[in-house]
Amino acid sequence: MTETPTVIPQAQSGKKPLSQTQRATRMLREMIITNKLLPGSSHLETELAEMLGMSRTPVREAAIVLEGQGLVEVKPRRGVRILPLSPADMEEIYSILTELESLAAHDVAKNGADEEDLARLRALIQEMETALADDDRHRWAEADERFHHKLVSLAGNRRLQTIVATYSDQVHRARLLTLHMRPTPHRSNEDHRALVEAIAAGDAERARNIHREHRIRAKTMMIKLIASHGLRAV
């Protein structure tokens, strides 16, 4: 894979100067998932190149990468189009995420997690709870994302991680949008606690089922919210 989506931290001490293609890929992905480039809009290669201060070549290569990750579509003479997500698309993606994250939960429980990892997961749940207490949904969402990411990474299946990251990126916009429309996610935190217990107990099937139900609930809510607000795409 060219790049693992949503792996922002690279700035530390690994001082390899990024290539222009890498920079273009990151910047464009960031602008897409944070809605700086609006879904449905099209952008000529030249425009993007100028905007990013580089030539067309790296922009073109970045577009190919992002197309492979389902974020854009490169249309022959129409430029690069930011793909909108319909409720049907969301349904597709959430089904896949549900299944793969549940597999991750299963595998983590089966292979066993050490105390450090369990502590990390519990700390993230705690973080979500205090964020909720402070009515800070943004912080809650961030901790939630990190929880799911950590869970998947513990499964130790790199490809699984890549797929989940890719599709999580795709629904990131929708999550941002519904964050303030949804009811307070208390139930979500209960699910998380139950999941960590199942993992700690090494009960793989229970972990899988808890997480699957958790994900299905999230999906149902998301679709309903989008539909109830009359959004045809995001």
The smaller minimum CB distance to its own copies, of residues 98 and 188, is found at 98
Give the integer Cα–Cα distance in Å for 68 and 63: 9
**8-state DSSP, 68:** H
**Which tokens in the block code for residue 87?**
């409720």
Distance CA 203, CA 106 (A): 8
10 binds DNA (CB under 7 A): no
Q: How far is the CB of 201 from its own copies (least distance, A)?
A: 22
Q: Which of 74, 123, 141, 177 binds DNA (CB under 7 A)?
A: 74
Binding partner of 1, given its own copies, DNA, none, CB within 5-8 angstroms per partner class = its own copies
**Is residue 54 near DNA by the rule CB under 7 A?**
yes
Using CB under 8 A, pick the residue from 24, 33, 82, 93 that binds its own copies. Answer: 93
Rule CB under 7 A: say whether 76 interacts with DNA.
yes
Residues 156-174 as b or e (16 or more Cβ within 10 Å = b) = ebeebbbbbbbbbbbbbbb
What's the CA gap between 140 and 146, in Å, rounded?
A: 10
Q: In what order do the strands lie in the sheet with 42-43?
A: 42-43, 79-82, 72-75
213 contributes a contact to its own copies by CB under 8 A: no
Q: Which listed range, 14-22, 139-147, 166-174, 188-196, lies at the site for DNA (CB under 7 A)?
A: 14-22
Angle at 60 between CA 234 and CA 51, to 5 degrees: 70
The number of angstroms, rounded, from the C-alpha of 122 to the middle of its chain's C-alpha atoms is 20
Contact between 77 and DNA per CB under 7 A: yes
- Binding site partner of 68, from DNA, its own copies, none, Cβ cut-off 5-8 A by kind: its own copies
Q: Are 63 and 72 in contact (CB under 8 A)?
A: yes
Length of the chain: 234
User: What is the biggest distance separating any 2 CA atoms in the chain, rounded to whole angstroms?
Assistant: 56
CB of 77 to DNA, least distance (A): 4
Stretch that binds DNA, among 43-51, 180-188, 194-202, 221-229 (CB under 7 A): 43-51
185 near DNA, judged by CB under 7 A: no
Q: Name 97's Cβ contacts closer than 8 Å, sequence gap at least 6.
A: 164, 167, 168, 171, 215
Stretch that binds DNA, among 53-61, 102-110, 160-168, 213-221 (CB under 7 A): 53-61
- Lookup: tokens for 216: 């299905």
- Under the binding rule (CB under 8 A), the answer on residue 107 touching its own copies is yes
Residues that bind DNA (CB under 7 A): 19-21, 44-46, 54-58, 60-61, 74, 76-80
Q: Which residues bind its own copies (CB under 8 A)?
A: 1-2, 60-61, 64-65, 67-70, 74, 92-93, 95-96, 99-100, 102-103, 107, 157-160, 163, 167
